[in-house]
Chain A
């Protein structure tokens, strides 16, 4: 019915009010945090400040978890057995605590330096 590639150049209906600033997706570093037995691993993660960062959060539990941090302004559900990508940064130097909103005792810190 369609061939790959041709319709990649398709036309899009555009919103009435303009304002989408489309930046190119920067080359971003990949960091991985795993959730298992209600623990984040690594509990402390250090990332470079001032850069865009791509964080992969893997949930190896049998229950749903959520990666949440007000300091990072992110709140994202990770289903059991799956993983999500969180786009962060550029971050100023400092500590950014986060937690699992489904199990609040589970916490971790991302340090940017």
Chain B
């Protein structure tokens, strides 16, 4: 209950600070209530969508094992909350400045009212999603619904009161100080979440060499006593931790502290921390459809909102491989200088001829370093794809994103795997490898070569002719100002591929 109260308190505090800045910056703007309200409403609706996604995942959980699913949720919550806590340390002021600037521009009429809604909505989406994820984690850790609700009410109440007092100027406490203090508690919470995630993996059978109990402090502080329960929910205290749980706790704690130390010394120079997502499932797999994909850069386009259409098409004399199409409509936004989110809907037409809405996907891209700072730019993509049809499986996708500029040549590689999850899941991870090299001739025209390979899973990994490989020329660039395009035509290599395929992408981008 205590940890729920603290997280909700902090999120509400952040939300009320944002509201305060926006209200101050839009004084005199008529109708601002509508724009601001729309932003808040939209953001929370979006967070509701995250809850629906989490619900869908939870329905799929019985297929993969409850403990494994719990572990994934706990690790995701730890990563999301940890990353935001770190980010807020240095960027809270910048965020406030950006909100103020948008508010002022809307008041002077330089920007349309809905930009205010959009920027508030996206910030609320982030806060709301964190709350949703955290509450799910608490439910999974065995906290009763009653204690979660009680904690939420306490946090909500305290956060609202504190936010109002700050806004009215009635208390002089620095908001930054409050954020710092709750930030420390969050660090312990995140380490606790990570260690509980490990505990779930142990229960699911992983780490069998390292699951012996390290110590038993029951005599010192019983876990089922009042203090023990409070400490468990606050920092993940466990009287009988296994070696793995201790290791995860310590590693997470040290990582976060090291990053904060580095952040304090070198503002903005933050090293990458990625959480391992392990998925192993060993049985024969029916092949999941492979479509030509966009090759992602590890670099995030901060504050850029884009709407994108992405389509691919195969060509072959064999009707079983001909005319497989995939069309995707997506919206993406760079939430922070290192994090971009994309939501999309996919439509598929298989060689048999049926076309339909196939899936919804949420994709996160994380940039590890400043572009050009290291010898190679790197980042990571983590995506969850929810299949619409009852018989199809959801997919989790993880890719390493790499990019290197040499003179006017830019080469990008995406290397990773896709793993079916949930009730209809079958087979091991499906490995993919995508590469392109392009020559940056001008902003309108960048010719290049692309390779896209689906190396398959399990048995297919050893058989070239069951894999799909495509290679061919592609061109990238920009037309009509803000419209970016990519187009490629590929030859299929090997019997598993169609004889040729093409893909085309259009992206319209805006800055907000």
Contact = CB atoms under 8 A, between A and B. Distances in A.
Given A71-B440, A74-B371, A7 B407 contact: no
A75 to B, nearest CB: 6
B405 A13 contact: no
Nearest to B512: A64
A9 B255 CA distance: 10
A13 B255 contact: yes
Interface in A68-110: 69-71, 73-77, 79-80, 82, 85-92, 94, 101-102, 104
Interface in A17-54: 17, 19-23, 25, 52
A66 B511 contact: yes
Contact of A1 (B184, B254, B302, B405): B184
B254 A10 contact: yes
B325 interface: no
B251 A11 contact: yes
A10 B255 contact: yes
Contacts of B271: 12
Nearest to B274: A15
B415 A22 contact: no
A64 to B, nearest CB: 7
Contacts of B97: 79-80
Nearest to B252: A13
Contacts of A16: 274, 276-278, 398
A19 B262 contact: no
Contact of B511 (A12, A15, A89, A102): A102
A75 B301 contact: yes
Contacts of A70: 440, 442-443, 446, 477-478
Interface in B39-90: none
Nearest to B378: A20
B400 A15 contact: yes
A8 B261 contact: yes
B344 interface: no
B139 interface: no
A19 B101 contact: no
Contacts of A4: 261, 264-265
B408 A71 contact: yes
B400 A13 contact: no
B98 A10 contact: no
A12 B273 contact: yes
Interface string B395-426: 00010101001011010000110000000000
Given A2-B257, A16-B277, A21 B251 contact: no
Tell me if B's interface is mostly helix, strand, loop or mixed. mixed
Q: How large is the interface on B (under 10, 10 to 19, 20 to 34, 35 or more residues)?
A: 35 or more
B168 interface: no
A88 B377 CA distance: 12
B370 A73 contact: no
Contacts of A87: 370-373
Contacts of B219: none
B380 interface: yes
Contact of B368 (A9, A20, A102): A20
Tell me if A's interface is mostly helix, strand, loop or mixed. loop
Contacts of A92: 407-408
Contacts of A11: 251, 254-255, 258
Given A2-B261, A25-B373, A77-B303, A19 B378 contact: yes
A86 B400 CA distance: 23
A16 B75 CA distance: 14
B374 interface: yes
A23 B405 CA distance: 14
B443 A21 contact: no
B296 to A, nearest CB: 14
B284 to A, nearest CB: 24
A77 to B, nearest CB: 5
A83 to B, nearest CB: 11
A73 B478 CA distance: 13
Contact of B257 (A10, A15, A86, A91): A10
Contacts of B398: 16-17
Contacts of A7: 254, 257-258, 261
Contacts of B254: 7, 10-11
A7 B262 CA distance: 9
Contact of B255 (A12, A82, A89): A12
Interface string B204-237: 0000000000000000000000000000000000
A21 B403 CA distance: 11
Contacts of B400: 15, 17, 19
Given A16-B276, A77-B303, A91-B407, A22 B374 contact: yes
A75 B306 CA distance: 14
Contacts of A101: 511
Given A13-B251, A66-B511, A87-B373, 16 more contacts: A2-B257, A7-B254, A7-B257, A7-B261, A9-B258, A11-B251, A13-B252, A14-B274, A16-B274, A16-B277, A17-B416, A70-B446, A71-B408, A80-B101, A87-B371, A101-B511
Interface of A: 1-2, 4, 7-17, 19-23, 25, 52, 63-64, 66, 69-71, 73-77, 79-80, 82, 85-92, 94, 101-102, 104
10 contacts: A7-B254, A7-B258, A10-B257, A13-B251, A15-B276, A20-B376, A21-B375, A22-B375, A75-B299, A77-B303
5 nearest A-B residue pairs (beta carbon): A87-B372, A23-B375, A10-B258, A70-B443, A10-B254
